[in-house]
């Protein structure tokens, strides 16, 4: 079996669903169920013996080690993290705790378990750390995309905490020969994306008749990747990645935020026209920029293509259509995640923000 951390979050739950759709190898899904973790994402696996869910914190080294010994995974795929840049600006503490201390704790448990394995199992064991392109900092308009050798220059508490975790993972390979793999991916989008992030937030706010908040001038560029393509990339790296290596994952889909929002508005205008007429674009509102906002991300994913034959299957146009349709088909999922603590976050981030 494989041991997945954070498998109730956005990418983690897509990964678990994809994994079990393609393989009968069981998954132990270890997740703290923070505000971002949602077992409804995994409802289709209810009663499926291949999926074992355990609620827990990656900082709990003793519990993690006990689970490793009990379930004998052949690999760890580590998604668990605090993942929202704006939240890291309002409160960095949890990011340091989970992303740095939690990854350290998980590495220690995994290394202890790995050191007890017999030679064959030891050689086959893998620890795949899921990271982000944000560790590389920000690009100018004419800069080459981030490659695996771009120096780290994180700019937010979130990206700094992910960078620290990447360095820990690297050091465990270098120092202990621990069999690590790291992926650094660009912005994901798709089903089960929590509506604090740009794309699902815009889809939800548009339908609710609320403002569509654009930070600053809206000309910041992100490189978008449909989530199932990220899952495929992780499976490829897990299967055939070279130990100790890092692999950049990206969609070759650089878009300015304002263009993304226009695309979403236009798509919704067609699929779900506004009751009172007009375009959803009328709801666009410019608000004060995110402090330290990175201007441009772009990923050079050629190493992954060259060495492991991975390419994204979706273009932005096909992926975004599937995404909008998924949100239109699943209003209850959105309503459920927006209840409770979500309202507090909206108030913290948007209510007193200058326009």
Q: Give the nearer residue to ligand DAU in terms of CB position, either 51 or 255.
A: 255
CB 127 within 8 A of CB 110: yes
Active site residue 254: no
299 contacts ligand DAU (rule: CB under 6 A) = no
**3 state DSSP class of 115:** helix
x-or-dash pattern for ligand DAU, window 156-195, by CB under 6 A?
------------------------------xx--------
**Nearest alpha-carbon partner for 259 in 277, 279, 284:** 284
Active site residue 158: yes
324 contacts ligand NAD (rule: CB under 6 A) = no
State the catalytic residue, choosing from 113, 136, 158, 297.
Answer: 158
State the catalytic residue, choosing from 57, 82, 133, 254.
Answer: 133
Active site residue 247: no
CA distances from 198 to 86, 202, 216, 317 (A): 11, 6, 14, 17
CB 154 within 8 A of CB 104: no
198 contacts ligand DAU (rule: CB under 6 A) = yes
Q: Which of residues 96-135 bind ligand DAU (CB under 6 A)?
A: 132-134
d(CA 25, CA 47): 16
79 contacts ligand NAD (rule: CB under 6 A) = yes
Least distance between ligand DAU and beta carbon 227 (Å): 12
> Residue 257 binds which entry of ligand NAD, ligand DAU, none, with Cβ cut-offs from 5 to 8 Å by kind?
ligand DAU
CB 48 within 8 A of CB 21: no
Least distance between ligand NAD and beta carbon 278 (Å): 31
> Residue 10 binds which entry of ligand DAU, ligand NAD, none, with Cβ cut-offs from 5 to 8 Å by kind?
ligand NAD
Block residue for tokens 């905490």: 161
**Nearest alpha-carbon partner for 226 in 199, 253, 184, 189:** 189
d(CA 81, CA 213): 25
- Please state the length of the chain: 355
Three-state SS string over 253-264 comes to CEEEHHHHHHHH
Number of residues that bind ligand DAU (CB under 6 A): 19
> Residue 105 binds which entry of ligand DAU, ligand NAD, none, with Cβ cut-offs from 5 to 8 Å by kind?
none
**Nearest alpha-carbon partner for 7 in 47, 39, 35, 46:** 39
Q: Which tokens in the block code for residue 241?
A: 């990645």
CB 51 within 8 A of CB 95: no
State the catalytic residue, choosing from 31, 57, 82, 134.
Answer: 134
Catalytic residue IDs:
133-134, 158
Residues found near ligand DAU in the complex (CB under 6 A): 83-85, 132-134, 186-187, 197-198, 201, 213-215, 220, 222, 257, 290, 297
Judged by the rule CB under 6 A, the positions of this chain that interact with ligand NAD are 5-6, 8-12, 31-34, 36-37, 57-59, 79-81, 83, 98, 102, 130, 132, 162, 185, 187-188, 194
């Amino acid at each position: 079996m494989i041991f997945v951390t954070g498998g109730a979050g956005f990418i983690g739950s897509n990964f678990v669903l994809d994994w079990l759709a393609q393989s009968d190898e069981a998954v132990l899904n270890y997740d703290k169920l923070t505000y971002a973790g949602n077992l409804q994402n995994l409802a289709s696996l209810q009663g499926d013996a291949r999926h074992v869910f355990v609620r827990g914190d990656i900082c709990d080294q003793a519990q993690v080690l006990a689970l490793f010994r009990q379930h004998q995974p052949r690999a760890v795929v580590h998604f668990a993290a605090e993942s929202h840049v704006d939240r890291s600006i309002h409160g960095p503490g949890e990011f340091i705790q989970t992303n740095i201390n939690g990854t350290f704790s998980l590495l220690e448990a995994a290394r202890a378990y790995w050191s007890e394995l017999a030679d064959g199992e030891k050689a086959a064991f893998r620890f795949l750390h899921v990271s982000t392109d944000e560790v590389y900092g920000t690009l100018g308009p004419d800069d080459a995309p981030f490659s695996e050798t771009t120096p780290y220059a994180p700019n937010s508490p979130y990206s700094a905490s992910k960078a620290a975790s990447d360095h820990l993972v690297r050091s465990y390979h270098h120092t202990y020969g621990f069999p690590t793999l790291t992926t650094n991916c660009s912005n994901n989008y798709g089903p089960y994306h929590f509506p604090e992030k740009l794309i699902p937030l815009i889809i939800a706010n548009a339908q609710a008749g609320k403002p569509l908040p654009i930070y600053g001038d809206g000309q910041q560029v992100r490189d978008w990747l449909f989530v199932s393509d990220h899952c495929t990339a992780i499976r490829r790296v897990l299967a055939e990645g070279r130990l100790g290596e890092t692999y950049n994952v990206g969609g070759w889909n650089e878009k300015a935020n304002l263009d993304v929002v226009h695309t979403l508005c236009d798509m919704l205008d067609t699929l779900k026209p506004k009751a009172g007429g007009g375009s959803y674009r009328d709801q666009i509102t410019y608000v004060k920029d995110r402090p330290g906002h990175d201007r441009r991300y772009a990923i050079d994913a050629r190493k992954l293509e060259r060495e492991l034959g991975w390419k994204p299957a979706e273009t932005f146009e096909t992926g975004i259509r599937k995404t909008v349709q998924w949100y239109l088909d699943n209003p209850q999922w959105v309503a459920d995640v927006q209840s409770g603590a979500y309202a507090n976050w909206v108030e913290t981030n948007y209510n007193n923000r200058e326009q």
